[in-house]
């Protein structure tokens, strides 16, 4: 009887130990999973931020280009106007000269 009791106790102890080990393993696994998930989330956030930054940069560049183009167009228009004015002036001068003559 005593022997049987001892055996039973031993068995129980073993079972308890096994259970504890299993629990520990499970906890460790859960922790690892959590950390991995956190890392993944961080990476995703970083990627999103980078993408946003890139998009912003592209937009800025496009705006700058548009502005430059507009400026160039304005300059060209001004030049053309100046040329026309000069031509008109020259014509007027010529007419005056002819009249004087």
Rounded to whole angstroms, how far apart are CA atoms 39 and 99? Answer: 90
**Consecutive 10-residue averages of pLDDT for the chain (101 residues):** 88 93 94 94 94 93 93 94 94 92 78
Maximum Cα–Cα distance across the chain: 149
State how far the Cα of 26 lies from the Cα of 20, in Å rounded to an integer.
10
What pLDDT does 1 receive?
A: 82
Burial of 11 (0-12, 13-18, 19+ CB in 10 A): exposed
Whole-number pLDDT of residue 3: 86
Question: What sign for the dihedral angle of Cα 51, 52, 55, 60?
Answer: negative
């Amino acid at each position: 009887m005593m022997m049987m009791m001892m055996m039973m106790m031993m068995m129980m102890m073993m079972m308890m130990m096994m259970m504890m080990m299993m629990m520990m393993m499970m906890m460790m696994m859960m922790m690892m999973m959590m950390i991995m998930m956190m890392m993944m989330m961080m990476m995703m956030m970083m990627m999103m931020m980078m993408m946003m930054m890139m998009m912003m940069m592209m937009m800025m560049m496009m705006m700058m280009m548009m502005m430059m183009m507009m400026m160039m167009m304005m300059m060209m228009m001004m030049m053309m106007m100046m040329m026309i004015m000069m031509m008109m002036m020259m014509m007027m001068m010529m007419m005056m000269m002819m009249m004087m003559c």
